[in-house]
Amino acid sequence: MKFLLVTDLDNTLVGDDAATLALNQRLQSERSQFCLVYATGRSYASTRELIAQKQLLLPDYLIAGVGSEIYQDDTLDLDWATHLSHNWDKLALASIAQQFSQLELQSPLEQNPWKMSFFLEETPTVAAEIIGDLQQKISAAGLAAQIVFSSNLDLDILPQTSNKGNALTYLQKRLQIHPEATLVCGDSGNDISMFEQDARGVIVANALSELLEWYRQCGSQNHYFASSKCAGGIMEGMQYFWGW
């Protein structure tokens, strides 16, 4: 059986250098047995920098920009791009977002044709209200989009069909890998959509409150809350679900 390992990067695969190194060595020795996918909020360019800096294995696929882009080697998956482009009016969504003075646009490097990213620095209650208002304005305008909020700071506006979870399911189906052989790993809000898919999931010990809250409410026997942080947690999950 071929395995599909889909992992977030910041504070999941990366964050504890010794554990990253140990996991990399383990993965390297069994490289032909699995398909390796990185699923990150980072842009393609910033992911490549991190891969070089931390000497990560080269993935088979890269889900970048919170699922707004999929790359195989250095090539953008145009089928996925076409899929996301249906019903996606970035200009109209930008003009709605502009009405919210609390939203501060992230760097141009973090924007792409299928992702608009902002900072929203408010208390959790105020942030939740603003997100509710934004979602309502989007729906009232007859537009389709999803809002992903992470780390109590990062707010992404994405096509409704996007996100890390939908992107990984697209790859899982294409590669015809069974849900039991699929393991997803993450630590924060933009990883929640991965845990909602038909797959096994590891929540690393250092997970943020938004993911822990989701786990309390929606976690099942398909989800494992690791006692080790970052890559150590991934290794625990591989042992727990796959006996690796």
Residues near ligand GLC (CB under 6 A): 41-42, 66, 106, 110, 117, 148, 150, 154, 156, 190
DSSP at 80: H
Residue (68 or 93) nearer to Mg ion, CB: 68
Taking the C-alpha atoms of residue 200 and residue 101, their distance in angstroms, rounded to an integer, is 39
Q: Round to whole Å and give the CA distance between 174 and 83.
A: 14
Closer CB to ligand GLC, residue 156 or residue 236?
Answer: 156
Residue 158 or 235: which CB sits closer to ligand GLC? 158
Judged by beta carbon distances under 5 to 8 A according to partner kind, the member of ligand GLC, Mg ion, none in contact with residue 47 is none
DSSP single-letter state for residue 113: T
Contacts of 12 (CB under 8 A, 6+ apart): 185, 186, 187, 191, 204, 230, 231, 233, 234
Residue 187 interaction partner, one of Mg ion, ligand GLC, none, beta carbon < 5-8 Å per kind:
Mg ion
Instruction: Name the β-bridge partners of 185.
Output: 7, 202
197 binds, among ligand GLC, Mg ion, none (CB under 5 to 8 A by kind): none
Q: Least distance in Å: CB of 155 to ligand GLC?
A: 7
Strand pairing class (182-186; 200-203): parallel
188 binds Mg ion (CB under 5 A): yes
* SS3 of residue 193 by DSSP: helix
149 vs 241, which CB is nearer to ligand GLC?
149
Asked whether position 20 contacts Mg ion by CB under 5 A, the answer is no
Task: Concatenate the DSSP letters of all residues of 115-171 into one string.
Answer: BEEEEE-S-HHHHHHHHHHHHHHHHHTT---EEEEETTTEEEEE-TT-SHHHHHHHH
Query: Could you say which of Mg ion, ligand GLC, none residue 154 binds, taking C-beta under 5 to 8 angstroms by partner kind?
Result: ligand GLC
Q: Which SS3 state, helix, strand or coil, does residue 83 take?
A: helix
Cβ neighbourhood burial of 173 (10 Å; 0-12, 13-18, 19+)? exposed
Based on the shown chain and the rule CB under 5 A, indicate whether residue 172 belongs to the binding site for Mg ion.
no
Q: Which does 8 bind (CB under 5 to 8 A by kind): ligand GLC, Mg ion, none?
A: Mg ion
Q: Which is nearer to ligand GLC, 190 or 235 (CB)?
A: 190
Q: What is the smallest separation between the CB atom of 154 and ligand GLC, expressed in angstroms?
A: 3
Q: In the complex, what is the shortest distance from the CB of residue 62 to Mg ion, in angstroms, rounded to a whole number?
A: 15
Name the residues that contact Mg ion, by CB under 5 A: 8, 10-11, 187-188
